[in-house]
Amino acid sequence: MQLNKVVVTDSSCFILFDKINALNILNDLFGIVLTTPEVAAEYGSPLPEWVIIQKVDDFNLQQKFYQHVDKGEASAIALACEVHPDFLILDDLEARKFAAKLGLPVKGSAGVLVQAKQNGIIATVKPYLDLMQQTNFRIASSVIETVLKEAGEY
């Protein structure tokens, strides 16, 4: 069931979900998936046609964020400040903390999997977490435990 939610995402979610062949979860789950040209460049391959690439209007705001996070994260956070999405998908802990300080609702890739299960997009979260661990994506065992508990699989 697709939700009528607007999300902004950084490259980490695109890269990770692509590596585990789960990129369509984003399309199946959310109504609108937004990102920035900077994030698209970081992804390095053409993004699916359902991803809307949108420039940040206030480039000065984006530049201010460079002192706290990398270029892609700064652009995604700045876009989220402008469009007020249902949430911003970030995996980097420092970027998540920074975005949260700005009052933005933040979710990580693992949290997206929980939401996908809760909405009937996927049957279980654990196989996806197992695949994530086979990539270069760093996820703490405590986070995995928390995610599995949220998904009712622990």
If one counts the domains in the chain, the total is: 1
Residue 59 lies inside a defined structural domain of this protein: yes
pLDDT, tens only, 114-125:
999 999 999 999
Partners of 3 in the β-ladder:
30
Instruction: Report phi then psi at 17, rounded to 5.
Output: -65, -30
Residue 37 lies inside a defined structural domain of this protein: yes
Q: Are 87 and 105 in contact, with CB atoms under 8 Å apart?
A: yes
Residue 147 lies inside a defined structural domain of this protein: no
Residue 119 lies inside a defined structural domain of this protein: no
Residue 91 lies inside a defined structural domain of this protein: yes
CATH number at residue 35: 3.40.50.1010
Domain ranges, residue 83:
3-109
Per-residue confidence at 2, pLDDT binned at 50, 70, 90? Answer: low
- Mean pLDDT for 133-147 is 91
**8-state DSSP, 136:** T
Q: Residue 3, Cβ neighbours under 10 Å: how many?
A: 14
Residue 103 lies inside a defined structural domain of this protein: yes
Residue 83 lies inside a defined structural domain of this protein: yes
On the 0-12 / 13-18 / 19+ scale of CB atoms within 10 A, 141 is exposed
In this prediction the pTM is 0.93
Residue 45 lies inside a defined structural domain of this protein: yes
